[in-house]
A and B are shown apart, each in its own frame.
Chain A
Amino acid sequence: MNREATLVDRFRSRWSGAGAFAATELRVQMHEGLAIAVSVTVQVIFLVFVSVLARSYLPYTLVGAVLYSAFQTGQRVQNEAAFIRIDHKLHELYHASPLTPEAYFLGLATGVGIAYMLPIVVLFVAAVVIVPLGVSATLVLAGLLGLTWVFVSSIGYTFSTLFHDMRVIWPYATLFYNLFGVLPPVFYPLWLFPAYLQPLALVLPSSGATALAERAAGILSLSAGQVELALASLVTLSAAAFLFALYWARRQVREG
């Protein structure tokens, strides 16, 4: 009983304030309604291209667009964390306070995540209707979105701490998200990817999650081994990235 109480206390003191900081960040982000709306530009352009050029691939592009949108929130988390730290120096206000570094990271990621969820919901609904997605496929896609969010938020936050200049962050971030989000089979089906590279595509969180979602939707067939590989990789990478971000947040709160 006592032991439980202390565990609860520890949980509370570690995470309290995360919700309030998420609300802060959400409010900040909501002032940039346009930025949120245009965050799906690339996805919409791809959807237009595909519906004009190869309509039969549209379901794949649509599922990919949903997951890519979640994948991209990592970039928003990264930019926001870097901006608060480098430009505003506001992180010092929050770090020298009872708000733990872990709660700061989670609050920031949650606030940004919720703000950028709006366009994702629109694409999601479009996917449910057009692909179409049944109940179980819908649930699977929602779960995959969650895992993707955990992965990219963690990576984005960790990345943000490595730079001292905003202008340096942008090109690297663009490279990262294009290399891992656009190039692999996210907007197009796995089978169009070179066969010998397909295991790699399944291991990558972006294309791996997409393949799993498409399989759940019944538009992509994967062997049991492929499903296991993609799922194990996504879960492991998300958990590892999240735990590392927690460790890293605590470590870098005090500069060396």
Chain B
Amino acid sequence: MSGDALVAADVRKVYRPRNASPVEALSGVSLSIAEGQRVALLGRNGAGKTTFLRIASTLLAPTSGRVEVFGKDAIASPESVRPFIAVVPQEGKPFFHLTPREQAYTYLRARGFSRGTAKDRTESALAQMGLTEVADRLSITLSGGQRQRVMVATVIATEAPLLFLDEPTIGMDPFARREVWESLRNLTRKGSTLLLTTHYLDEAETLSQRVYIIDRGKLLAAGTAEELKQSMGGTLRVSVTGGRAILPELGTFGPTVQDGESVHVVTDPSRVQELLALAMRAKLPATVGPVSLEEAFLRVVGRSIDDES
């Protein structure tokens, strides 16, 4: 049963916009996703997440490279792959003049499900996404987060073997996000494979079994969230506001990552006291916490995921 749901080898994409110079959105991305896994592509705006997802889901042609979905060539024969996949597009919206119930049901019917199956799956997906109360309201009357939930409900109702979700929880409140995560976990328990993109570190960490950090069209790191954190070489993080002034001293305690004016130092519990004393002498406020994916991201990418520059 278990093989690879998705294999991408050296995928490159160069956009050639009219009246502008070419943009290399992906420069040789290779990855493989085992069946039943939940995998996140984590990256800043413009990193190439959507580009990769659209290529892997047969919606965009790569400039070069190879993509296989369940062993089928997604580039040469996309139509052989499409029955096995489903996609939540970035910034997609449901039909404004359908209700959530109609949207999910008609979509399943268009995918070839029988009336009975379509009905059952629709009800279950609406319930999972907390949409039961608004199930018979036109989507045009729903809030942004509710519309996004309709999109996710419609797609998870397919229970397709491979699901692509481009920022599935964007605009959702924390409760709704948890509902989505739970439904997605359920789906993989039933055997589906998920590839999602996100800027949310917690989403990558709590939901995914494997995280790929992507920046400027390249995969820079891969592993479980735990592995990525461990690669930092310590278990605690001391953040020193204004720490750039004493960077060389801080560097003696372990790897440092800069985040604007602040410096995060990843270190061992045994050295925290000493480090805090140093910060106090320099009159710089400091906080201590566990190492998070954020440090790993900062170190790999060189900038924070929410750094505006």
Taking beta carbons and an 8 Å cutoff, which residues of A are in contact with B?
16-17, 20-21, 23-24, 27-28, 31-32, 84, 87-90, 92-100, 107, 253-256
B246: interface (CB < 8 Å)? no
Nearest Cβ on chain A to B73's Cβ, whole angstroms: 13
Q: Is the CB of B89 within 8 A of A89?
A: yes
A-B contact pairs, 18 of them (CB 8 A): A17-B111, A20-B109, A20-B112, A24-B109, A28-B95, A28-B98, A84-B95, A88-B95, A89-B93, A92-B57, A92-B87, A93-B92, A95-B59, A96-B58, A96-B59, A96-B164, A97-B110, A255-B61
A17→B109 CA distance, assembly (Å):
7
A53→B158 CA distance, assembly (Å):
59
B11: interface (CB < 8 Å)? no
Q: Is the CB of B109 within 8 A of A27?
A: no
B83: interface (CB < 8 Å)? yes
Q: Is the CB of A100 within 8 A of B58?
A: no
Q: A27-B97, A253-B59, A254-B58 are in contact. List 10 more A-B contacts (CB 8 A).
A: A16-B112, A27-B98, A89-B92, A89-B93, A90-B89, A90-B94, A97-B83, A98-B111, A253-B58, A255-B59
Report B-chain residues with C-beta under 8 Å of the C-beta of A20. 106, 109-110, 112
Name the CB-closest residue of B to A21.
B110
Report B-chain residues with C-beta under 8 Å of the C-beta of A95. 58-59, 82
Report A-chain residues with C-beta under 8 Å of the C-beta of B138. 31
Q: Is the CB of A107 within 8 A of B93?
A: no
B107: interface (CB < 8 Å)? yes
Q: Is the CB of A96 within 8 A of B91?
A: no
B78: interface (CB < 8 Å)? yes
B86: interface (CB < 8 Å)? yes
A87→B89 CA distance, assembly (Å):
12
Report A-chain residues with C-beta under 8 Å of the C-beta of B60. 254-255
Q: Is the CB of B110 within 8 A of A100?
A: no
B292: interface (CB < 8 Å)? no
Report B-chain residues with C-beta under 8 Å of the C-beta of A31. 97, 138
Name the CB-closest residue of A to B92.
A89
Q: A97-B110, A98-B82 are in contact. Are A24 and B92 (CB under 8 A)?
A: no
Q: Which of A89, A90, A97, A256 contacts B111 (CB 8 A)?
A: A97
Q: Is the CB of B155 within 8 A of A254?
A: no
Report A-chain residues with C-beta under 8 Å of the C-beta of B82. 95-98
A20→B78 CA distance, assembly (Å):
22
B268: interface (CB < 8 Å)? no
Name the CB-closest residue of A to B160.
A97
Nearest Cβ on chain B to A91's Cβ, whole angstroms: 9
A93→B158 CA distance, assembly (Å):
11
Q: A32-B97, A87-B93, A89-B92 are in contact. Are A96 and B86 (CB under 8 A)?
A: yes
Q: Is the CB of A17 within 8 A of B61?
A: no
Q: Which of B57, B87, B93 contacts A88 (CB 8 A)?
A: B93
A84→B93 CA distance, assembly (Å):
9
The 3 closest A-B pairs by CB, nearest first: A31-B97, A20-B109, A98-B83
Q: A24-B106, A96-B85, A107-B110 are in contact. Are A254 and B59 (CB under 8 A)?
A: yes
B258: interface (CB < 8 Å)? no
Name the CB-closest residue of B to A164.
B18
B79: interface (CB < 8 Å)? yes
Nearest Cβ on chain A to B166's Cβ, whole angstroms: 9
A93→B109 CA distance, assembly (Å):
13
Report B-chain residues with C-beta under 8 Å of the C-beta of A94. 107, 110
Mark each residue of chain B from 116 to 157: 1 if its CB lies under 8 Å from any CB of chain A, else 0. 000000000000000000000010000000000001001100
B295: interface (CB < 8 Å)? no
A21→B106 CA distance, assembly (Å):
7
Q: Which of A21, A28, A98, A107 contacts B97 (CB 8 A)?
A: A28
Report B-chain residues with C-beta under 8 Å of the C-beta of A27. 97-98, 102, 106
A92→B87 CA distance, assembly (Å):
7
A31→B109 CA distance, assembly (Å):
20
Q: Is the CB of B89 within 8 A of A93?
A: yes
A51→B96 CA distance, assembly (Å):
40
